[in-house]
Structure 1
Amino acid sequence: MFRPIDIARKIGVSTSALRHYEDWGIVPKVRRNEKGYRIYTELHVAYFECIRAMSPGFGMKLIRDIMPYIQQKEIAKALWMVSEVQAKLYNENKKVGKALELLEKDQVEEMEEKSPMKKKKWYSISEAADAIGVANSTLRHWEKEDLIVPERDQYSGYRLYSASDLRKLLIIRTLQNAVYSLDIVREVLAEMDHHNISEAIKITRESLEYLDYLIKQQLRGMSYLYHLCELVERESPA
């Protein structure tokens, strides 16, 4: 049996945080002794440690989603949800890597000449959104935030995006996914407008470094999750 204060100190949280985890239903129900004190078991400790270890790499939303399934011994279902998050991180790493490769071209003319996006001069909002992998509504939102201002067809009024606009959109998406503020995004775009992409390259590299950090944190969290799943599967039915 373990005291709340001992567990809290071990994993680096307050005892109130342990109670929050209980209230959220992401740890098994806790019995109390005759004096009303909580009685934590080895299994509870494994849950608490797993939650803390997974938080940096996966976030609390996923943790709150999967822990009820683990308590119900639906281990595979929880693991597939974790796998989906890891797949998204892999895909994001590929996208940011492509953005960095595009930015590191020596000259804008070279980028326009070799870019697969350079198939025609103008792109509709749907074509631009498809090219960088976002929804049309996302481009409208960025326009509302003054991050990008496309040309308009003089007759139809439809938005028209150039190859240069597509590069900017790619950078905006990369920075947004890296959880940078809109003010920083605007500063980077301003530097690009002045043909100074060094800051954009710097931030994109930092984004890749952050993704490298996340994948290591996910690996660490998975080791605790594996230990927890082993304990749960060995646990006798209630």
Structure 2
Amino acid sequence: MVRPIDIARKLNITTSALRHYEAWGIVPPSERKENGYRVYTEEHVAYFECIRALNTGFGMGFVKEIMPLVQEKKFTEVLWLVNEKQAELHKEKEKTEKVIEVLELENPEKVPLNRQKLSYTIGEVAAALEVPTTVLRHWEKEGLIEPKRNQENGYRSYSKQDISKLLIIRTLRKAYFSIEIIREMVKEFDNNNITKAKKVAKDSLIYMDYLVEEQLKGLYYLHKLFEQVKKI
């Protein structure tokens, strides 16, 4: 038997946190002494250690989801949920890397257009970016781009700055970012906050590197918990 205060000290948390975990149903119910004090077993210790280890890398919401399954000994189901969660982090990492790639795009001068011109037609831009004119019109309708209009004939007139923005939009769409997210990002570009956006993206990558390490630590304790529960 293990006292709550000893577990709390070991994990650097309060005894009230242990009671919360029990109330949430993510650890098995504890036995009580005649005076009403809780008494925990080595199994409880394994649960508490696992919860604390998983929390950083996966979040308490996910912990609450899988711990009841552990108690039901549905280990394979838990592992697949863990696998899905890790895949989500990997997908987020790829998206963030794509954002950084977009923010560091080469100069639009390298796009195959006549460099002597100051503005370009929708057909010229569509051909250079290899997207249909209908896509450019759709992005305009969604508020992602707003080319000027030729005062004489009303035709769209794209500047080199428009082309820079379209390059970014095209890359983000290929990375399956939603129109809503792209719209917010484009606002940052319009406000000349590209440097800030790049820093946020790079900081996010650093944090994801930290998370994947914490997830590995959590999985070590999850394996230990599995072994403990299998004994019962």
Same topology, TM > 0.5: yes
Q: Which amino acid aligns with 2:196?
A: E
1:61 deviation in Å?
1.0
> Per-residue displacement from partner, 1:177-219 (whole Å, max 9, x unpaired)?
9xxxxxxx97x75552255622222221111111111111111
Change (3 A) 1:80 1:111: farther
Change (3 A) 1:33 1:191: closer
Task: Output the TM-score relative to the length of structure 1.
Answer: 0.70
Partner of 1:192: 189
Kindly indicate whether residue 216 of structure 2 is the aligned counterpart of residue 223 of structure 1. Answer: no
1:163 equivalent among 141, 163, 166? 166
Kindly indicate whether residue 131 of structure 2 is the aligned counterpart of residue 119 of structure 1. Answer: yes
Partner of 2:87: 87
Kindly indicate whether residue 210 of structure 2 is the aligned counterpart of residue 207 of structure 1. Answer: no
Q: Which amino acid aligns with 1:31?
A: E
Q: Which amino acid aligns with 1:66?
A: I
Kindly indicate whether residue 36 of structure 2 is the aligned counterpart of residue 36 of structure 1. Answer: yes
Q: Distance in 2 between matches of 1:22 and 1:99?
A: 42
Partner of 1:96: 96
Q: Which amino acid aligns with 1:10?
A: K
> Per-residue displacement from partner, 1:69-90 (whole Å, max 9, x unpaired)?
1001111111111111001111
Change (3 A) 1:117 1:106: closer
Q: Check conservation: 1:118, 1:163, Cα contact below 8 A.
A: no
Q: Distance in 1 between matches of 2:112 and 2:20?
A: 53
Q: Distance in 1 between matches of 2:68 and 2:22?
A: 11
Larger radius of gyration: 2
- Aligned-partner SS, 1:123: helix
Q: Distance in 1 between matches of 2:229 and 2:3?
A: 21
Q: Check conservation: 1:105, 1:111, Cα contact below 8 A.
A: no
Partner of 2:158: none
Change (3 A) 1:112 1:62: farther
Q: Which amino acid aligns with 1:216?
A: E
Percent identity between matched residues is: 45
> Per-residue displacement from partner, 1:73-125 (whole Å, max 9, x unpaired)?
11111111111100111111111111211211232454798xx9741345389
Q: Check conservation: 1:102, 1:111, Cα contact below 8 A.
A: no
Structure 1: 5+ residue stretches without partners: 129-142, 153-161, 178-184
Partner of 2:76: 76
Change (3 A) 1:220 1:78: same
1:15 deviation in Å?
0.8
Q: Which amino acid aligns with 1:120?
A: P
Q: Check conservation: 1:4, 1:15, Cα contact below 8 A.
A: yes
Q: Check conservation: 2:70, 2:226, Cα contact below 8 A.
A: yes
RMSD: 3.5
- Aligned-partner SS, 2:135: coil
Structure 2: 5+ residue stretches without partners: 114-127, 148-164
